[in-house]
Homo-oligomer: A and B are copies of this chain.
Amino acid sequence: MTAIETVSEQACFGGVQGFYRHRSDVCGCDMTFAVYSPPQAKAGARLPAVTYLAGLTCTPETFTIKAGAQRVAAELGLILVMPDTSPRGVDLPGEDEAYDFGSGAGFYLDATQEPWAHHYQMESYVTRELPNLVAAHFPVDENRRGVMGHSMGGHGALTLHLKHPRLYRSCSAFAPIVAPMQVPWGEKAFAGYLGDDRDAWARHDACELLKQGASGAEILIDQGEADQFLTRELQPERFEQAADAAGQPYRLRRQPGYDHSYYFIQTFVEDHLRHHAAALGA
């Protein structure tokens, strides 16, 4: 069993909020992640697990501190897994210069371009290395995993669910980037990590992936109508069109007055966790 180092563990809603560090083989660096173990974990049962993928600039602490999710996870008996948003401290040139590329902005894909390819392998990390590591150390039912995320992490949740529907059986997103090939954040990241090959880009774009078929599971999306990135980066109508064309079940809720922040996320996180719990039989 690969070792993990406990950074901290704190009581929260009868369960344990922990931060852990390990050596990542796929990212070639130390990685930190957070896990919330609900009180039901102490009883020895195998529990469903929901992975939350955070947005640009975030860390495993962001959702853990700001979303108020532990209360609901404790009620529903869900394990929550919060990975980091990129490799850290790998000293690539320019890695820390922009908020939307490099550290804090891994876009949940496996980079093919140098110098990023050697470390920025976040799809492999989030779909293979980390789930195995978490299942080895926490009582996860490996047949009941879901994925959710915000903004860049919403892009991650949608694409990784569509590409790995038997790994991540349920999916939801807050204000996701649904069509990264068509918007500035995605264009910059894909060009940097994947180069010029737009066929490669399409393998990491939710709207493009839907052309290859629906997942079958209903996807829940909340989008604030006062979101400052709505028209430039998010464009949820592109997801509606692609999902309708593909026959993908989804529920897209436009929330009047809400912006892109964690005040928006904390307002609707309970609905998302109940969506996952229902789909995963929690």
Contacts and interface: CB of A to CB of B under 8 A. Distances in A.
A6 interface: no
A267 B65 contact: no
Interface string A264-278: 101100000000000
Contacts of A17: 263
Interface string A3-39: 0000000111110010000000000000000000000
Contacts of A66: 65-66
Contact of A10 (B11, B13, B255, B261): B261
A199 to B, nearest CB: 40
A263 B66 CA distance: 11
Nearest to A264: B11
A68 B65 contact: no
A70 interface: yes
A250 interface: no
A102 interface: no
Interface in A65-114: 65-66, 68, 70-71
Interface in A199-233: 224, 226
Q: A11, A13, A255: which has the most chain B beta carbons within 10 Å? A: A11
Contacts of A263: 10-12, 17, 70
B11 A266 contact: no
A271 to B, nearest CB: 12
A138 interface: no
A262 B66 CA distance: 10
A282 B102 CA distance: 49
Interface in A54-73: 65-66, 68, 70-71
A10 B255 CA distance: 13
Nearest to A260: B10
13 contacts: A10-B259, A10-B261, A10-B263, A11-B257, A11-B258, A11-B267, A12-B263, A12-B264, A17-B263, A65-B65, A65-B262, A68-B68, A68-B266
Interface of A: 10-14, 17, 65-66, 68, 70-71, 224, 226, 255, 257-259, 261-264, 266-267
What 6 A-B pairs come out closest when comparing CB atoms? A68-B68, A12-B263, A11-B257, A10-B263, A11-B258, A13-B267
Given A11-B224, A11-B226, 12 more contacts: A10-B261, A11-B258, A11-B259, A11-B267, A12-B263, A12-B264, A14-B267, A65-B65, A66-B66, A70-B263, A71-B266, A71-B267
